[in-house]
Amino acid sequence: MDHWDVLLQQVINGVSLGAMYALLALGFTMVYGIIELINFAHFNVFMVGSFIAMWLMQTMGIVGQSHVLYGLPLIGLLLFVLAVTMLATGTLGALIERYGLRALRGVSGPAPMITTIGISYILFNIILLTTGADSKNYSNPMPNVRWEIGGAVLRLREVLLWAIAIALMAALHYFVRRTKMGKAMQATAQDQEAARMVGVDVDSIVVTTFFIGSALAGAAGLIFGLYYNYTSFIIGYTAGLRAFTAAVLGGIGNIPGAMLGGVVIGLIESLGGQYLAVRWTDVIIFSILVLVLVFRPAGLFGSAAPSKS
């Protein structure tokens, strides 16, 4: 492996990480765009998603990495698990909004944000107390297929991760830009009162936003498990914090910004680890965040809801 192979490999690693952060960042950014709330429960909705997908695969007889599928059964199974997981975490997100946060809507000050931290802890401890705290050996039916590009290796799981991430982000982009619901969502983000006046049902828009953001977090949870063959009750924090950083870096409220922010953070992480030292990763990431916010307070790509503060 010469120098360029290592660089290419680190870019592959970084983009994979970034795709995962991007999926997670979307949930933060969408919710913030609509109701200006930083939703810390999102961290652990992601974590719960990875467990739901694992349990689902375990009930279907896939335990650990010993049971390998190929071709159509593999794609069918992954799509099924992905759909069920997204539905489950989406519902969880909608329930959090409906029963945890709706009553607090419009309350000024930090109360709604603190509530999301509380909900985050509840999810965290439920998983901890029901499944135990040891690292879980994730169910993974994917064969160990790999392609050599020079000295670098591209694995099936990376390709799959990118494919799922790109497909979901494209679908989201289409939904927000082209559908009626999406346009209503944009309208709500710009001005809730005005949107209500022209007949937008703001409550259902907010709950839909939570549903979509949480469903994407569930997808990220499944991808996380398949990528690392591992999950644990503790995965929400590090990944969630990086994803949140990605959302802020891209301009919070800005959907394409969150995607790009995720990839930027992923690349910083892998290239920083390669050319500096892994133990400095967080220092590098958060220093860049501080610098960006000092010089460009709206994030690298600006805020998407310009009519608001």
Binding residue (CB under 8 A) for other proteins from 270, 301, 303, 305: 270
**What CA–CA distance (Å, rounded) separates 89 from 94?**
9
What amino acid is encoded at 209 in this protein? T
137 sits near other proteins (criterion: CB under 8 A):
yes
228 sits near other proteins (criterion: CB under 8 A):
yes
65 sits near other proteins (criterion: CB under 8 A):
yes
Distances (CA, A) of 172 to 23, 54, 104, 133, 166: 11, 25, 27, 34, 10
Structure-block tokens of residue 167: 């497909």
Of the candidates 123, 155, 126, 129, which has an alpha carbon nearest to the alpha carbon of residue 142? 155
What number of other Cβ atoms are within 10 A of residue 192's Cβ? 20
Query: Closest CB to other proteins among 127 and 304?
Result: 127
Closest separation in Å from C-beta 3 to other proteins: 8
Closest separation in Å from C-beta 209 to other proteins: 27
* Beta bridge partners of residue 152, listed in sequence order: 149
Distances (CA, A) of 123 to 48, 52, 128: 7, 13, 9
89 neighbors 162 (Cβ within 8 angstroms): no
Of the candidates 55, 65, 11, which has an alpha carbon nearest to the alpha carbon of residue 226? 65
Q: Which stretch binds other proteins (CB under 8 A): 201-209, 257-265, 273-281, 283-291?
A: 273-281
Binding residue (CB under 8 A) for other proteins from 134, 198, 199, 294: 134
Query: Closest CB to other proteins among 68 and 293?
Result: 68
Q: Which stretch binds other proteins (CB under 8 A): 90-98, 202-210, 275-283, 296-304?
A: 275-283
**What CA–CA distance (Å, rounded) separates 163 from 78?**
12
What amino acid is encoded at 233 in this protein? F
Q: Which stretch binds other proteins (CB under 8 A): 1-9, 28-36, 93-101, 250-258?
A: 1-9
105 sits near other proteins (criterion: CB under 8 A):
no
Q: Which stretch binds other proteins (CB under 8 A): 162-170, 188-196, 231-239, 294-302?
A: 231-239
**What CA–CA distance (Å, rounded) separates 223 from 304?**
27
Query: Closest CB to other proteins among 144 and 287?
Result: 144
**What CA–CA distance (Å, rounded) separates 261 from 244?**
9
**What CA–CA distance (Å, rounded) separates 175 from 206?**
15
Query: Closest CB to other proteins among 156 and 298?
Result: 156
232 sits near other proteins (criterion: CB under 8 A):
yes
- Which phi and psi (to 5°) does residue 209 adopt? -60, -45
**What CA–CA distance (Å, rounded) separates 34 from 285?**
27
Binding residue (CB under 8 A) for other proteins from 279, 294, 307, 309: 279
Q: Which stretch binds other proteins (CB under 8 A): 35-43, 106-114, 135-143, 286-294?
A: 135-143
Residues 19-58 that bind other proteins (CB under 8 A): none
* Secondary structure (3-state) at 304: coil
148 sits near other proteins (criterion: CB under 8 A):
no
Binding residue (CB under 8 A) for other proteins from 55, 162, 175, 230: 230
287 sits near other proteins (criterion: CB under 8 A):
no
- Which residues are at the interface with other proteins (CB under 8 A)? 1, 3, 5-6, 9-10, 13-14, 16-17, 64-65, 124-125, 128, 132-137, 144, 153, 155, 224, 228-230, 232-235, 237-239, 269-270, 273-274, 277-279, 281-282
